[in-house]
Amino acid sequence: MDADERDLSPEDAFSLLGNDTRIDIIQALWDADDPLSFSELHDRVGIRDSGQFNYHLNKLVGLFVRGKEGKYELTYAGFRIMGAIFSGTYTQRAEAETFELDAYCPDCGTELIAEYEEETVTVRCETCERNRSTFGLPPGAFEGRDESELRRTFERWLRNVFSLMADGVCLNCSGKTVGSLVTESEYFDEKQEVGIEFRCERCGDYATGNVGTYLLQHPAIIAFHYDHGIDLTKDPVWELEWPRPENATILSEEPLVAACTVTLDGDELTLTVDEELAVSVE
């Protein structure tokens, strides 16, 4: 199939899925270890009328199902449809829940909590009445994980989503993201004077974060923590004192440059970030 044939409208592509038999076909191909012949697939889907079965299978072939040498298998789009079903994003409404994070607010020492509501996690300190992070998470993340695994999943998900955006890739659509330093955002609280923003050029998705969160993936920061007994590739970051919004300050307005100082056991490391998010170690 060439690229032009695949250029379906979203309505056409998604309307192909609005049928039980077609979803059963995709599910059967997902469950199979190897490509299935017409009759194997027909048996597994369990629809009697072979004309009907053939009709629905043919609707899927080309976009969600690939026919090759008399056998059928899922295309990448078919795999992604099953991923979307398993994630629960479109099919489940998760219960609102509150989790204790087993990590403590660096400002006041209260145990931080994560609230999950409307498929969004908010990490907050109830004493300081301050949100530390807010991010979307599909309901599938909750299945089969106990509380301690969930705590880790919240933290890793947030960091990896942020890191993907910082690497120029949109989690939503795989489009190109562009990051910049910004001094104004509706998401800043009153203590924050500078932050980071990522925008996807393809779908327009948008994320903001503080400069410290962005710096968490810089090798100088990772090494500095490692030298002080903190492994940023494994240890949770909620309790770190320095990556807070107000710890990044404006070093220069024109061109815009922000500075952020990390202090661990009395040792200091200062990094600067320019408008295009290039980082320098001072």
Site residues for Zn ion per CB under 5 A = 105, 107-108, 110, 125, 127-128, 170, 172-173, 175, 200, 202-203, 205
Q: What are the phi and psi torsion angles at 191 (to 5°)?
A: -85, -10
CB 235, CB 216: distance < 8 Å: no
Least separation in angstroms between residue 171's CB and Zn ion is 8
Long-range contacts from 173-177, C-beta under 8 angstroms, 24+ separation: 173/200, 173/202, 173/203, 173/205, 174/202, 175/200, 175/201, 175/202, 175/203, 176/200, 176/201, 176/202, 177/201, 177/205
Closest separation in Å from C-beta 169 to Zn ion: 9
C-beta closer to Zn ion: residue 62 or 175: 175
Q: How far is CA 128 from CA 105, 252, 255, in A?
A: 9, 30, 34
Residue whose CB is less far from Zn ion, 36 or 114: 114
Q: Distance of CA 34 to CAs 37, 40, 62, 273, Å?
A: 10, 11, 18, 50
Least Cα distance to 99 among 149, 54, 144 occurs for 149
Residue placing its CB nearer to Zn ion in the complex, 46 or 204: 204
For residues 262 and 260, give the distance between their C-alpha atoms in angstroms, rounded to a whole number: 7
Name which of 200 and 216 has its Cβ closer to Zn ion.
200
Least CB distance to Zn ion at residue 67 (A): 31
242 DSSP 8-state letter: S
Instruction: Select 60 or 101, whichever has its Cβ closest to Zn ion.
Output: 101
- Rounded to the nearest whole angstrom, what is the least distance from the CB of residue 30 to Zn ion in the complex? 25
- Can you tell me the distance from the alpha carbon of 158 to that of 150, in angstroms, rounded to the nearest whole number? 12
State the nearest-atom distance from the C-beta of 201 to Zn ion, in Å: 8
CB of 240 to Zn ion, least distance (A): 14
- By C-beta, is 207 or 260 nearer to Zn ion? 207
